[in-house]
Amino acid sequence: MTITFVSLNLWHGGQLLPAPYDFLKQQNADIVALQEVYNGEDQDIPEQYRSMEVLKRELGLPYADFVPDYLDFDRTNGKAQRGNAIVSRFPITAYPPMYFNEPYSETYRDVPAEFPNCPRSLQRVSLATPAGDVNVFNIQGVWDLDGDNFSQKRENMANMVVSAIQGLPNVILAGDTNAKPTNKAIKLIEEHLKNVFTQNPISTFNMRRKDNPGYATAAVDMILVSPNITVLSSECPDVDISDHLPLVAKLEIK
What's the mean pLDDT in 205-211? 97
Chain segment 89-122, per-residue pLDDT in tens: 999 999 999 999 999 999 999 999 999 999 999 9
How many percent of the chain have pLDDT more than 70? 100
Q: For each of the domains in the chain, give its residue range(s) and CATH number, in order of start.
A: 2-252 (3.60.10.10)
pLDDT for 42 equals: 96
pLDDT for 32 equals: 98
* Cβ atoms of 147 and 206 closer than 8 Å: no
Grade residue 216 by pLDDT with cuts at 50, 70 and 90.
very high
pLDDT for 212 equals: 95
- Listed as own residue / partner, the contacts of 103-108 with beta carbons closer than 8 Å and 24 or more positions apart are 104/68, 104/69, 104/70, 105/69, 105/70, 105/71, 106/70, 106/71, 106/78, 108/70, 108/71
Q: What are the DSSP calls for 81-147, one per residue? A: EEEEEEEESS-EEE---EESSS--BSS---SGGGGGG---EEEEEEEEETTEEEEEEEEEPPP-SST
pLDDT for 128 equals: 98
Chain segment 13-27, per-residue pLDDT in tens: 999 999 999 999 999
Grade residue 183 by pLDDT with cuts at 50, 70 and 90.
very high
Chain segment 231-243, per-residue pLDDT in tens: 999 999 999 999 9
pTM to 2 decimal places: 0.97
What is the pLDDT of the chain when averaged over all its residues? Answer: 97
pLDDT for 112 equals: 93
pLDDT for 106 equals: 98
Grade residue 133 by pLDDT with cuts at 50, 70 and 90.
very high
pLDDT for 203 equals: 98
Burial class for 142, CB neighbours closer than 10 Å (0-12, 13-18, 19+): buried
Distance of CA 97 to the CA centre of its chain: 13
Chain segment 139-150, per-residue pLDDT in tens: 999 999 999 999
Grade residue 217 by pLDDT with cuts at 50, 70 and 90.
very high
